Amino acid sequence: MKTESWDNGGEGGGGADAKAEIAKKLEELAVPRLRVEYTEENFKKLFGEWNRVETPAGRVTVPRSQFIKLKDRNREGWLGAVYQTITDPILIIQETTDKKLYVKTFAPEKKGVIIFLSVIIEQGSSRVNISNHEKGMRNILNKIKRADDVAYLKDHRHRL
């Protein structure tokens, strides 16, 4: 995707057409959420012995603290979604030089798609998952200020 196709709203505008295209893609590519029982064993099955997975942007570590945080925040049912979001995101937003937002959508359970976000930071030469939660479409789209903020869009040839 060429930068020019994103430049619809001027500098800092993010481009209304590009944001509409991203919103449409997020809705179209929604998948059923992987339902995995919240257990240490399943965490290890998903993230491996070293708590690492491969992503479109390279290897990411998912610390055990994220597993614990899911329970602390009453998100035990989202263990499978964390895995799906990090390993197969639809969108990756470069929020800062050392922070990326991995975004995945899940088929509606009640109304509208569910948008799930995993925050990945760079610590030295490592990428580490530090947060996982649901977000609204407007919140996600508002994080995109310009075309370069989109580090990855599934099924598009775009930079990482």
The pLDDT assigned to 90 comes to 97
Burial of 125 (0-12, 13-18, 19+ CB in 10 A): exposed
**Which among 118, 126, 79, 75 is positioned nearest to 95, based on CA atoms?**
118
Does residue 160 register a pLDDT over 50? no
Does residue 29 register a pLDDT over 70? yes
Does residue 54 register a pLDDT over 70? yes
Instruction: Tell me the percentage of the chain whose pLDDT exceeds 70.
Output: 88
Per domain, the residue ranges of the chain are 3-153
Range with the poorest average pLDDT among 51-65, 97-111, 144-158: 144-158
Who wins on pLDDT, 155 or 36?
Answer: 36
Does residue 159 register a pLDDT over 80? no
3-state secondary structure of 74: coil
The pLDDT assigned to 9 comes to 40
Largest CA distance in the chain: 49
The pLDDT assigned to 156 comes to 55
State mean pLDDT over 71-79: 95
